[in-house]
Structure 1
């Protein structure tokens, strides 16, 4: 194990020699070890494999540095780096089982993470990208396959949505994949890890995770309405305290954007290779806590309810409601997403 730990002379000079090294489980994109430096436990993480490793390392290092200004902390402390080996040395944080109603603490910490980015961080990370125009065509083709008549003007409405999301205000520090499992619940609050997809953009993009069912995550859940309201309120309050402003952006737009993304129906390694919405009529597939059809039915329901009182996405709301009804008629055994109990 000693020979495998990528802890070079530069890190040894800065931090000392590691002892009691133990390999930990991790994703295929990284290798992770627990070690001790002068008797203090640390985590050593190396980004490995594939053309995206260097980009993932740069994003994670930059995000951790930006987030380090938040107090109380929302990330483990970054103790050292070795860019040549794509290695990060992090404070070891004792993870605890999330408490009941954990999404409230999660939302509070997420807002404070987002608020860490200020004007001087612009350019330190890539800008978040919304759904591409191609997703509109995939979504509308799925509607036709489901036998749903497209409302007049819905494509124009969706093109406007994509344009708004592309120009959404804000330079919040976005985690990029703020899923349960990438949040560590501790006695001192929630801390986020694994920032390989970090970006700058509108924080409401990730606030939408709670309502739309954690779209990039294996563990899709649906919080109870009262818990969802409490979590969104906690986010807005924490953002207001940190920035002195109201949360910018439109939550309905953010949720509708996640509805369009077919790639948000599969895990990261399977994205960008095929039209996932186009596959749904012929097959369903499991990913974590739910199937692709379950996830889409949930998202359709969320968007149809959020647009029910009119506004700039009323046609999309009508279409979403009709698509959801068609899916439940075709596949009546589909179950709701697992509930996140208070």
Structure 2
């Protein structure tokens, strides 16, 4: 801790003290520290393993674009760490969704979708800048913009399922390859990479985004799928009232069409979002397979929270309706029958804020 404080103090030229642990994750330590003048900053120190280094590069480059997120105050790539503006303790989108005020939850969802849409529009012509910044802060590990993770997960999915005894249709591999490739380099926009509810502060000045560790450019459909599913890779997942996911998705889309007017056409938008739903389902399922044998809460400390089995079954049910990808839809039905069929858990409930 002393080493982190000394390095961070040198970066900003101000003595920092009284660190408070804000949680972090396996890749990083996040601290709120007091400045000599009585203010505060947030210090984020990253691990030196490949994932920690990639997270540092993503966050340093993503915040340096200055399109969203807290102001970046200093970077030390030798530790590595960065110091950023402290955005305070405003409620997150997760807080209001898990609360008891439906109006606050609806306003929070709308602000989230609108803010992400405006970020997408503002970022369309800045990809070269992110590439340059990623090279500047690169520490020998490919950035998320360079890492072909979508294609890699799609290619590995059939063998991942074979490892748990699920025999997939022969056409699945080729179908997934087409899903991953179609539109992969079209309708791109910047994303912090993890826009889950707990990474979005609802401040008096509006939505403020946190956690840029996976910052990259992706097709806007990948963010639209976060609206539809909702929250593709997150723990704070419950069901929304009928029609609300569609309204939130349209809020995002209404912003994005300023940059990509052709996305007003359902013939382009709907297949793109459905492909993204499939890809996020592949990503989530692959990552949860090692933890699938025993059910547990999807978050270590937050409550209420779904269990892993509730979450996976809900994702597979949604993806099983993607009939334009028949081999993938059939695979989802196999998972529901052969894996989730033995899970004695209730259906995923609704968000508490909406009476779930």
Map Cα deviations across residues 72-94 of structure 1 (whole Å, 9 max, x no partner): xx411223323333332222213
Q: Which residue of 2 aligns with 1:157?
A: 175
Measured after TM superposition, the shift of residue 254 of structure 1 is: 0.6
Q: Which residue of 1 aligns with 2:76?
A: 82
Q: In 2 relative to 1, CA 2–163 (structure 1 residues): closer, same or farther, beyond 3 Å?
A: closer
Q: Which residue of 2 aligns with 1:271?
A: none
Which structure shows the bigger proportion of residues in helix conformation? 2
User: What residue ranges of structure 2 are gaps of 5+ in the alignment?
Assistant: 97-103, 135-143, 300-304
TM-score (norm 2): 0.74
Q: In 2 relative to 1, CA 253–315 (structure 1 residues): closer, same or farther, beyond 3 Å?
A: same
| Distance in 1, Cα, partners of 2:169 & 2:45 | 50
| Distance in 2, Cα, partners of 1:210 & 1:325 | 27
Q: Does 1:34 align with 2:33?
A: yes
| Distance in 1, Cα, partners of 2:54 & 2:197 | 23
Map Cα deviations across residues 257-280 of structure 1 (whole Å, 9 max, x no partner): 1222356554xxxxxxxxx27x74
TM-score (norm 1): 0.77
Q: Indicate conservation of the 8 Å contact 2:8/2:16, yes or no.
A: no
Q: In 2 relative to 1, CA 82–221 (structure 1 residues): closer, same or farther, beyond 3 Å?
A: same
| Distance in 2, Cα, partners of 1:36 & 1:81 | 17
- Across the two proteins, how many residue pairs are aligned to each other? 311
User: What residue ranges of structure 1 are gaps of 5+ in the alignment?
Assistant: 267-275
Q: Does 1:303 align with 2:319?
A: yes
Measured after TM superposition, the shift of residue 64 of structure 1 is: 0.9
Q: Which residue of 2 aligns with 1:7?
A: 8
Q: Indicate conservation of the 8 Å contact 1:135/1:262, yes or no.
A: no
| Distance in 2, Cα, partners of 1:2 & 1:43 | 15
Q: In 2 relative to 1, CA 229–262 (structure 1 residues): closer, same or farther, beyond 3 Å?
A: closer
Measured after TM superposition, the shift of residue 197 of structure 1 is: 1.7
Q: Indicate conservation of the 8 Å contact 1:110/1:235, yes or no.
A: yes
| Distance in 1, Cα, partners of 2:44 & 2:170 | 52
| Distance in 2, Cα, partners of 1:129 & 1:290 | 26
Q: In 2 relative to 1, CA 23–329 (structure 1 residues): closer, same or farther, beyond 3 Å?
A: closer
Measured after TM superposition, the shift of residue 284 of structure 1 is: 3.7
